[in-house]
Chain A
Amino acid sequence: IAGITQAPTSQILAAGRRMTLRCTQDMRHNAMYWYRQDLGLGLRLIHYSNTAGTTGKGEVPDGYSVSRANTDDFPLTLASAVPSQTSVYFCASSDSGYGGYTFGSGTRLTVV
C-alpha cells in the first residue's frame, strides 16, 4: 500500500517509560517529519529529516529523538515519557521537501 504507515495506532503509556513510535513510507520521499497535534495548538513540528542520515530539530523537540538510518523509516523515541507528551502524533513525508506532504494516520499516545 503506497503511503505512510504508523504504528501503533494508539498507546497508553506509564510516565517514565520509553516508547518508540514507528513510521515507514514506501514512496521514496527524501524528507520526513514528525508532528504532534494538540487541541488549540494545531500541528507542531517535533523533528524532521531532509534525507537519510540527517535529522533536525523542529519547534518542540525536547523529550524526543529521531533517527533516519534509511529512506523509508523514521522512528520517533520518547526516552522517558511525561504526561505533557499526551498527544496525537503524525508522521509525514514529502518529495524533496516541496509541495504537499503525505501524512500517516497518526498515533494517539496517552501518558499516565
Chain B
Amino acid sequence: EDKVVQSPLSLVVHEGDTVTLNCSYEVTNFRSLLWYKQEKKAPTFLFMLTSSGIEKKSGRLSSILDKKELFSILNITATQTGDSAIYLCAVERNTDKLIFGTGTRLQVFP
C-alpha cells in the first residue's frame, strides 16, 4: 500500500533555531514530491521536487529529494514565529493523485 510518513509529528523551537522536517515514502509510479505549508486554513504550495539531489530554495526554506532512499527533507533556517504551521508532504503518482503524509506541526516561540 502506498504511504507517506512524516517525522517528527510535532516540533517546538525558539526563534532563530534551524529545523529539519522529514518525509519518507513508499509509492508506486512516483512522479513528484511536494511540500505544503498549512497555517489556519488552506495548504499553500512550497516546493515540488522531481529529481534527486537538486536543492530547491525559497528564502530561508530549502528542500531536497533522495529518490534512491525514498525521502525528502525540508529545512528552515533562522526560524521565525511566522513559520509556525503544519508542514505537509505529499507524493504525486503517475495516476496524478496526491498522497499526503500526516504532517509535522511546527511551533516557533519568541
Q: Which of the segments A11-19, A61-69, A74-82, A99-107 contacts the partner chain? A: A99-107
Contacts of B85 in A (CB 8 A): none
Tell whether, in the assembled complex, residue A103 and residue B42 are in contact, meaning their CB atoms are under 8 Å apart: yes
Q: For chain A residues 50-109, which have a beta carbon within 8 Å of chain B?
A: 50, 58, 90, 94, 97-106
Evaluate contact between B98 and A101: CB separation under 8 angstroms.
yes
**Is the CB–CB distance between B41 and A40 below 8 Å?**
no
Counting chain A CB atoms within 10 Å of each CB, which of B45, B88, B97, B99 scores highest? Answer: B97
Measured CB to CB, the nearest residue on chain A to B32 is A99
> Is the CB–CB distance between A101 and B45 below 8 Å?
yes
Q: How many residues of B contact A (CB 8 A)?
A: 20
What's the tally of chain A residues with a CB closer than 8 Å to chain B?
A: 25
Interface on chain B toward A: helix, strand, loop, or mixed SS?
strand
Minimum CB–CB distance for A11 against chain B, Å: 15
Tell me if A21 is interfacial: C-beta within 8 Å of chain B.
no
Number of A-B contacts (CB under 8 A): 50
CB-defined contacts of A58 to chain B, threshold 8 Å: 97
Asked whether A42 lies within 8 Å of B97 as measured between CB atoms, the reply is no
Of the 9-residue stretches B13-21, B53-61, B69-77, B100-108, which lies at the interface with chain A? B100-108
3 closest pairs, A vs B, by CB?
A97-B96, A100-B45, A42-B102
Given A42-B100, A42-B103, A101-B34, 9 further pairs, Cβ under 8 A: A33-B98, A42-B88, A42-B102, A43-B90, A50-B96, A58-B97, A94-B96, A100-B48, A104-B42
Would you give 21 A-B contacts (Cβ < 8 Å), ordered by A?
A40-B102, A41-B102, A42-B102, A42-B103, A43-B90, A43-B98, A45-B98, A48-B97, A58-B97, A90-B42, A90-B43, A94-B96, A98-B31, A99-B92, A100-B45, A101-B34, A101-B45, A101-B98, A103-B43, A104-B42, A105-B42
Residue positions of B touching A, CB distance < 8 A: 31-32, 34, 41-45, 48, 88, 90, 92, 96-103
